[in-house]
Amino acid sequence: MTKQNVVMPEAMAISVAAVANPPPLFPYPPPIRGGGGFALRKKYPSQLDLGGRRTNTWVESMKASSPTHSKAAAALVAAPSVGAQDEYATWIMRHPSALSKFEQIISASKGKQIVMFLDYDGTLSPIVDDPDSAFMSDAMRAAVRDAARFFPTAIVSGRCRDKVYSFVGLAELYYAGSHGMDIKGPARGPRYKKAKAKAVLFQPASEFLPMIDEVYKALLEKTKSVPGAKVENNKFCVSVHFRCVDEKSWSGLAEEVMSVLKEYPRLRLTHGRKVLEIKPTIKWDKGKALEFLLESLGFADCNDVLPVYIGDDRTDEDAFKVLRDRGQGFGILVSKLPKETNASYSLREPSEVMDFLLRLVEWKRLSLKPGPMV
Ligand SMILES: O=P(O)(O)OC[C@H]1O[C@H](O[C@H]2O[C@H](CO)[C@@H](O)[C@H](O)[C@H]2O)[C@H](O)[C@@H](O)[C@@H]1O
């Protein structure tokens, strides 16, 4: 594998400019909890402002970060109120199931190479309490392996690349770890590689490694008194998990995290599904990673490509938005609940993601079979 010297203008703008003027994050509005409904929020900042926002605002953001796993939301999924059902019905018309619209999707791929981008947690593996036990099933692995035989496939995850590779275990895929800040091409050369495809190893935040390591250690120390808190070193970013922390301790945890981060103005804080995420302030995200990978695969400025991105979290919205802005391909949001999203389609859970991959593979196999002799 050769180290690639790629000049990406945004990636080069890593430090000073970005620090002075942090990039706006996509305002992914999680549903408002409580009130018995799934009302979509119009504005909900996904970047937690270390300077001005009060801790209780943080805690509200933390509460909203995993509605599917709150007891109230789980009850609403199991037995939704009439209002919630109406709201879901309206939402699903705007973001129909990728399974029910399968024919529409494959007809859009006519004459084009599908390229698959798959988030990991909550997309290929179910959300579980222990991040170290978020294994994908063998059946899902087989479906991804089959899909990758026909379509270039990349795993795009917030996790450390090595970790997500250890979960997926397929050498023929591209992997973008640390929310796209650590990209590596397949160990084995896939058959579908275009002639202009390049070998890939791209780490736009490498200068932040020592800082991330330092912050990881500081966060470990600061949060060790909070029962259930877990700090995960994702190489170019750090996750502070609060899924197993008693809700009463969330504000204390947020305060500890903020007290560490105020010493690091070149890092920013966002939140995902019951997790606080600490990242470098570079203009790089899963959307940029998607564009980078398309280019690496030889599909830059091509019309004969249909990128499909499947993900469940707010960081995946950056990729959905890129596809929407390019007017190319489409995003599929994995969610049982209505959420404001830039994805075109939806799937309810990882098992539906697997069904979708299997149908794609089956369709491709049939389309490659020679027709009957006449
Ligand atoms: O981009 P992703 O692959 O979706 O990674 C995002 C974060 O996923 C993991 O945390 C989430 O899944 C855990 C296991 O199911 C769950 O316990 C946690 O509450 C979720 O937030 C991962 O551990 C994080 O480091 C990733 O940033």
Q: What is the pLDDT of residues 96-140, one digit of tens each?
A: 999 999 999 999 999 999 999 999 999 999 999 999 999 999 999
Whether the CB-CB separation of 2 and 34 falls below 8 Å is answered with no
List the single range of 52-56, 132-136, 323-327, 368-372 with lowest mean pLDDT: 52-56
Q: Specify the ligand 1 atom closest to the Cα of 123.
A: 4
Q: What is the ipTM of this complex?
A: 0.99
Please tell me the distance between residue 232's alpha carbon and the centre of ligand 1 in angstroms. 10
pLDDT of amino acid 188: 61
- Find the range with the poorest average confidence among 72-81, 224-233, 242-251, 266-275: 72-81
Q: What per-residue confidence (pLDDT) applies to 62?
A: 80
Q: Is the pTM of this model over 0.80?
A: yes
pLDDT at 20 over 50: no
Residue 200 has pLDDT above 70, yes or no: yes
Tens of pLDDT along 75-93?
667 778 888 888 999 999 9
Measured from the Cα of 127, ligand 1's closest atom is 15
CATH of the domain at 94: 3.40.50.1000
Q: Which of 59, 25, 72, 61 is nearest to 337 (CA)?
A: 72
Structure tokens, 80: 């939704």
Q: What is the DSSP letter of 43?
A: -
Which amino acid would we find at residue 265? P
- Of the listed ranges 38-42, 225-229, 289-293, 339-343, the least confidently predicted one is 38-42
Residue 307 domain-assigned (yes or no) = yes
Q: Ligand 1 center to residue 97 CA distance, Å?
A: 24
Tell me which of 253 and 2 has the higher pLDDT: 253
Mean pLDDT of 276-302: 95
pLDDT at site 229: 98
Cβ-contact 211, 263 below 8 angstroms:
no
273 to each of 109, 257, 261, 317, 357, how far by Cα in Å? 32, 17, 20, 14, 24
Q: Is residue 111 part of a domain?
A: yes
Number of domains into which the chain is organized:
1
Q: Is the pLDDT of residue 318 over 70?
A: yes
What one-character DSSP code corresponds to residue 174? E
Q: Give the pairing of strands 201-202 and 230-233.
A: unpaired
Q: Which range, of 9-13, 299-303, 337-341, 370-374, averages the lowest pLDDT?
A: 9-13
- DSSP letter string, 143-159: HHHHHHHHS-EEEE-SS
Task: Quickly count: other Cβ atoms within 10 Å of residue 93's Cβ.
Answer: 8
Predicted local confidence at residue 299, as pLDDT: 92
Q: How far apart are CA 58 and CA 65, in angstroms?
A: 10
Cβ(272) to ligand 1 under 6 A?
A: yes
For the chain, the average pLDDT equals 84
Query: Which range of residues forms the domain containing residue 188?
Result: 89-194+284-368
119 noted as active-site residue: yes
Q: Angle at CA 59, nearest 5°, toward 58 and 65?
A: 90
The closest alpha carbon to 115, from 370, 369, 360, belongs to: 360
Residue 125 DSSP code: B
Helices (H), 152-208: 161-168
Pocket test for ligand 1, best of 175, 245, 275 (most atoms within 8 A of CB): 275
Which structure tokens are listed for 78? Answer: 């199991």
Task: Give the model's pLDDT for residue 64.
Answer: 73
Nearest CA among 364, 320, 307, 326 for reference residue 346? 320
Give 77's Cβ-side CA count (13 Å radius). Answer: 15
Burial of 330 (0-12, 13-18, 19+ CB in 10 A): buried
User: 162 lies in a domain?
Assistant: yes
54-68, 85-99, 269-283: least confidently modelled range = 54-68
Whether 159 is in the pocket of ligand 1, judged by its Cβ within 6 Å, is yes
Task: State residue 80's pLDDT score.
Answer: 81
Distance, CA 23 to ligand 1 centroid (Å)?
A: 23
Question: In which element (H, E) is residue 275 found?
Answer: strand 275-280
Beta-bridge mates of residue 157: none
Residue 40 or 159, more confident: 159
- Asked if 154 contacts 175 with a C-beta cutoff of 8 angstroms, the reply is yes
**pLDDT beyond 80 at 5:** no
- Residue 223, domain member (yes or no): no
The span from the CA of 178 to the CA of 200, in Å, is 16
Give pLDDT tens digits for 162-195: 999 999 999 999 999 999 999 999 866 655 556 5
Say which residue the tokens 């990882």 belong to: 350
Does residue 118 lie in a domain region?
A: yes
CB of 345 closer than 8 Å to CB of 105: yes
Can you say whether the dihedral through the CA atoms of 310, 172, 362, 300 is positive or negative? positive
**Is ligand 1 within 6 A of the CB of residue 158?**
yes
Q: In 3D, which of 42, 58, 14 has the Cα closest to residue 270? A: 58
What pLDDT shows up at residue 73? Answer: 62
Q: 51 or 107, which is more confident?
A: 107
